[in-house]
Amino acid sequence: MKIGDAVGGRQKEEGMTKRLCALMALTVVVVACGGGRAVTEKRMLEWGPILNMYLGANFEGGNSYPEALEELPPEFRGELELKDGWGNRFLYRRLRVDKYNIISAGADGEFGNADDIVLENGVLYEPMKIYTESPLE
């Protein structure tokens, strides 16, 4: 083995290590920025069918959505998360007996702006559209 071969091999190895570190850093950034949103949307979409089942089974309550998510019996609620992908609690609002929304404050943790995530009657919507129709109080 020549000295030049050893040096060249080490340089290639260092280059690979730098590229691997850069890729790992990029992965961390992507997960930190986008992972919270994906987790939140998944958790919110899991609530939609549960609330619809409750609506259909809630004869005593006049076939209405609950006033609060905690009102749901354990057999409906199961292990569903009450927090978004950033660890903040969802805001649940029953707007009418047949209309609800679940809101995540988004990455910034503040309700009422464009980075919020809104599920209304099982469908994800742009937050500002929902806030125009049903302002936060």
Q: Where are the domains of the chain?
A: 3-133
- The CATH architecture that domain 3-133 belongs to is 2-Layer Sandwich (3.30)
The position carrying tokens 């850069």 is: 22
Answer for the pair 32, 44: CB distance below 8 angstroms, yes or no: no
Mean pLDDT for each consecutive 10-residue tract of the chain (137 residues)?
Answer: 60 59 47 80 96 82 85 90 97 94 97 97 96 92
pLDDT reported for residue 131: 95
Question: What burial letters (b/e) apply to 40-71, b meaning 16+ CB within 10 Å?
Answer: bbebbeebbebbeebbeebeeeeebbbeebee
How far apart, in Å, do the first and last CA atoms of the chain sit? 75
**Left, alpha or beta for 114 (phi > 0: left; psi -120 to 50: alpha)?**
alpha
What is the sign, positive or negative, of the torsion defined by CA atoms of 68, 73, 77, 79?
positive
Backbone angles phi, psi at 22, to 5 degrees: -65, -40
CA atoms of 76 and 47, how far apart (whole Å) = 10
What DSSP state is assigned to residue 88? P
